[in-house]
Structure 1
Amino acid sequence: MRNRDLRPAAKANPTIQQAFERFQKYNRLKNLSQGSLDFYAAKGRSFFRFLGDTEQPIHTITEETVEDYIFYMKDQQLHDTTINTNLRMVRAFLYWCMEKGYLEKYPIRLVRADDPIKEPYTTDELQKLLKEPDCKTCSFAEYRNWVIVNFLLGTGCRASTLLNLQIGDLDLSAGTVFFRHMKARNQQIVPLSKALVRIMEEYLEHRSGDPTACKTVHHRSCWRGLQELAWDRGA
């Protein structure tokens, strides 16, 4: 009887696009959050724009390719922190390709970046952010931004956690909020101060929200409000 050849067959080298699709499939199997998947997709698009042709074999990406990408980003006058953010995706993707045998192994190092000192809010800025607006004369956007600042300050949650908050997650009678969407994919119940409970009760009343309904807490323009706060510290 003819003996079977049990040696593994040589792996066909996929294209860059095929390799990235397999990488994202692997990430979904790892149960990464949608935010992480979106991060890889967005940073992948930036890398692929630099490469130009994603139908070429994945093994055409060499250590020199990565170095050229760094110089390309520097020519675009990107900050070193932004360059490293893009490189983290490239490194995760290419290291996975190396583990799969698609690429020869080579190191991918981040650039040396200065760690800037974050300027804290001044007393005057904090007073502007925390001063309660007059609901009879201010716009809804101004009032909404004030509620956002108080909620972020009172709970310490991330912007993405706030944006995924449901009215049903608030238990104002018990003074707690249930965070179901967090970066580490865990869930958490956080106590609310009496002052924040009062603010949230008034906010739900002003936005015509039903506290018993399972709708989003934020107004549909809430994300724009978070961006406004990031762009204009004096708002």
Structure 2
Amino acid sequence: LAIVGQLAGGIAHQFNNILNVIIVTADAILVSNPHLDEETKRWLKNIKEEGRRAADLVYRLLDFSRHSLVEKRKIELFSFIKNLEKELREFFPPNVEICIERDQKSEYSIQGDPSLLRQLFLNLASNSKDAMPEGGKFILGLKELTVDEGNMLSFSTLSQGKYIEVKIEDTGIGMDEETKKHALEPFFSTKKKASGLGLSQVHGIVKQHRGIMKLESQPSQGTKVIIYLPEYETKVKNENSSGYKYFC
């Protein structure tokens, strides 16, 4: 079963990369060519819809292989996100501003699987895009966090040590309490043609990286996902993290 899981996961990762290119390209053509005739628009929308349906099958394969296909290595998260930025800018329409924030720390190293982390950010970006049909702001933030005896009560779910706090925030429609309560459940979705695996898969990826995930949202106030991942270099000197640098 483990061998089958590894095979399924390997195929799923490769196929998912192909699907992302197809979906993003179709979306980019639609956004950059508003005067296309209706038939062409319909075909492009069909490409996107069928691509997402295929992506749902990929998610199922990834879930099946989750415990057997995790290839972790040292990853510098700020560089990782900057490399992903171009893909995100092509994914979002022009009326969505993308902003990357960080504190004064120069490196944010974790031990992780690049393919899974890429999927995590793309899933959250997809949710944010759907939540901002009229445009808005998509924010990615990085900050170092040290949990010790002085602040353990504020971070009761974390053990003492150093973490990288990853913030993913949008200015979209937000969620009510009932939706938020079920948001991490597999196959739960408020969208008619969605698989409901987006946030559930994100939560699973976070747990695979020994992390903790928090979800904050209110109707008309946007949504914020905060992820705490163990820092790779546990002996790095803690720096003052007052203030952010902005890269919008």
Same topology, TM > 0.5: no
Higher helix share: 1
TM-score range for the pair, normalised by the shorter chain length: under 0.3
